[in-house]
Structure 1
Amino acid sequence: MNARTRSRRVALATAVVIAGGAAALGLPALATAAGPPTLPLTGGTFDWGVKQSFRSYVTGPAAGTITTADGASANANGTFHFTGGTGSYDTATHAVTVGFHGSVEFVSAPHGFDIKLADLKVTTAGTTGTLTADVTAAGSTADDVAFAALDLSAVRPGSGADGAMTFGGIPAKLTAAGAQAFNGMYQEGTALDPADLAVTATAPTTPPTTPPTTPPTTAPTTPPTTPVTTPPTTPATTPPTTAAPEAPATVVDGNLDWGVKESFRSYVTGPVAAGKVELTDGATGTAAGYRFPKGTGSYTADGKVLNAAFSGGVRFLGHLQQGAYALDLKLSDLKVATKGATGTLTADVSSKDLNTGKVTDYDDLAIAALSKVAPVSDGKVVTISAAGAALTADGAKVFSGFYQAGAALDPVTVAVSLAEDAGLPSPPAGTSGGGSAGSGGSGTSGGSTGGDAATIGGTGGGTLAATGAGLPSGTLLGAAGALVLAGAAVTVTAARRRS
């Protein structure tokens, strides 16, 4: 085998193992036979956009700048290109470690933040991996913050220039350490932007002296030939009795208790957006968010099918600019439809794009997919307590892309009465922060930076980190850090795109 052929085999083996999956399990012997226990990796590149909506915010409403340095550059599509990747591949454990040159800095004087990410590293073990970075905010640095978990199970290698192995679209999620480092403004498991990676394995210059292990010659055991016994095909002689379908009961009153998203509420009324929440048509503020009253519709106990519509509306206003609010989102005519343990929450929506100012109206838009729906009925009142709610793809549009489909929303509680004399329960308990009609808000958040599990941010939760669109000023720098890595989260995009 000549050196060129051996180099190609090393590259292939390394690529497959890094990518994971069934193919990776088939080539460890090849990698071991082709070279020493550790192979050097060189010429690595890493293209990373952080988060598109965050970049738009920095250069838009925040009137800020984004600067690359130290070997990083900006791609034509707005992402960032990190170069000079070097590291190693362990043929025994199949672990990969690659570090990259370059930094990217996000600065906004009007909103008072300066955040820099540098020294990015990717490490993998089998079909999982981690992205780390040094994070600097307000002059203090937290080194090697592990904020993204990478999933390589479905990634397959490709080929790039000069024999590089490329890995595109690696899914990334926020880790517990990342959530802790950025004050919990994003929960562990929050989806981040996918990542691309490119590396080149360097073949050893001295050919190996030990030949590859001889593969086993024993043929696989012959499977049993006895066919499976054919099940009886004779149908039952007596058909089951079909019960008459149950008529749905009429909903005579009801309440929907929902806060949309607590961090979004706090952001709107906090010092960054400096906005307010308006409630209309009978909607009221509660400790857990908002109550939408006067429910109408129907409920069928068989199948636990609920279809209910509610009065009231909520309007979020923020970022007052020249007499008009740049953020303007209104939800009204909310409806809940459930069957069994799942359901949908819909609303009429009016949404203003933060960047263009265009207002778009939607009728009966499916905003949230409901889960863990467990209706409980006493014959007069049906309650659904704290059903899970996840943002739909259509719902993500009304937030200008600041949240991705699947993002967790506040839990949904519904109570409807089936009898005129039935009383409805009080609103659920919760943390205040929804705001009442016309309410403003204020808050502070100081905090410390630096350390292995540094908390870059303060104790307050009201920042645009939650929306992906705005950043705090002054003492809210911590929230900005959260937005960069958690909402702006660590999107690892890498590979062969150069500006």
Structure 2
Amino acid sequence: MSSSHRRPLALAAAVATAAALGSTALVLPATAADGAPAGPVKIVGGTLDWGVLAGYRAYVTGMAKGTITVADGAKQNEDGSLRFGEPTGQYEPAAGHVVKAAFKGSVTFSSPAPPAGHGFEVKLSDFRIDTGTKKLTADVTKGSATTQDVPLAAVAFAGQSMDGLATTLTKEAGDALGSASYENKAGDPLTAKLEFEKPAPPSPSPTPTKSATPSPTPTKSATPSATPTAPADGPQKILSAKLTWGVKESFRKYVLGAGSITPAGGAAKNGDLFDFALGKGELDAKKQTLNASFEGSLRFQYAAHGIDMTFANPRVAAAGKTGTLYVDVKNASGSKADVPFATLDLSKTDYKSKDGVLALNAVAAAFTAEGAASFANDTTGSLYKAGDAVDPLTLSVAVDKGATLPTGGPTPNTGAAGGTGGTGAAAGTVGGNLASTGAELPAGALLATSGAAVAAGAGAVFLARRRRAVRI
């Protein structure tokens, strides 16, 4: 800009945090993916749509017999509103999950001198948004004078969506547009879509060195191990069962940063995880099939980031070495029953019960496309994708009247897919001490710090593991 000393953009590029937000907050990077980002996250793409005021545009091209000219990369949309691109800026988790972005492009409103027109020319450029101050600013040029960073509108930034946000024109906007009547007038709605820098991959863990000291010879247990039960000839009704699961750890942590997770309807907190009570089901050990439905719901709420999601009535359908976890999902888009939420890796499972109990411990699970889409918002989509890991689940089912379900916490998952356990505490223990949480921005966050969603941010805060449109 010609006549002003442009102060440096305070939103300089920053090193992307290695923690992807898996969730969403405000307009943050897909948050809630793997925890909140440790530092600022750079904006690498996106657009801003705003038309100032439809009535003013109509006045310029109508009564004032003028023109509206876009330049420097700006475009005019079919509805007359304006689009600005090539944003720079960043998401700042430490500053209250604030997004600051500046966009390229300019628009000039002009009218010829009287008597042909009304004789004015005003140029608006370098549009900026700040979710902290909730303002939209721009440089205003009239004649040869440019005033930088003029607050043109207050913007109703709230929650994780930046789609169709209400704007209110300021006194300064009235001065720029040539009429005090524009002050406090509702401006055109504002929509911003942002993409955030992909976080750096985590450093590989060092390879553990083998101990030179031989391990002592294990002593045999005096207690005999559980006796495997011969498979029944057909399907058996499940008499009692318990499912322990937490949805996704990073998302839980994100939400619990300043929100809540409420179990209900048969779900109960078990350490950091949650237990779900049996609804009904059948096990056919010979055919290696299992179908078990459970009762209970988990409601994730994070008002400051616009998150209100409920996951309910999980159902496990397994056949051979694979399975699917189905869940009822309620989010801002509505309610869907029996959503195929995650795939299950049952490659280590033989479906043989021991002392009347089939116990599957820490079964690896990963989002399906439908499961990942459950976290999408209108601005950035989901910070998750099909194949991303969700919390492993621990499941124990009893098919004998006298069988006792194991108690305790799930055995830490060492990478093996769900295996079969014995009876007692060793038989695929079910409880757990994980703190329920959630994550993210835009996006952290979504998208915890949004991350990450954009923002789950989250969750998102979630910072997307890969570049992702932030619809925070």
Same fold (TM over 0.5): no
Q: Given the two structures, how large is their TM-score scaled by the length of structure 1?
A: 0.43
What TM-score comes out, normalization by structure 2 length? 0.45
Q: Which structure is higher in RCO with an 8 Å CA cutoff and minimum separation 6?
A: 2
Choose between structure 1 and 2: higher helix proportion: 1
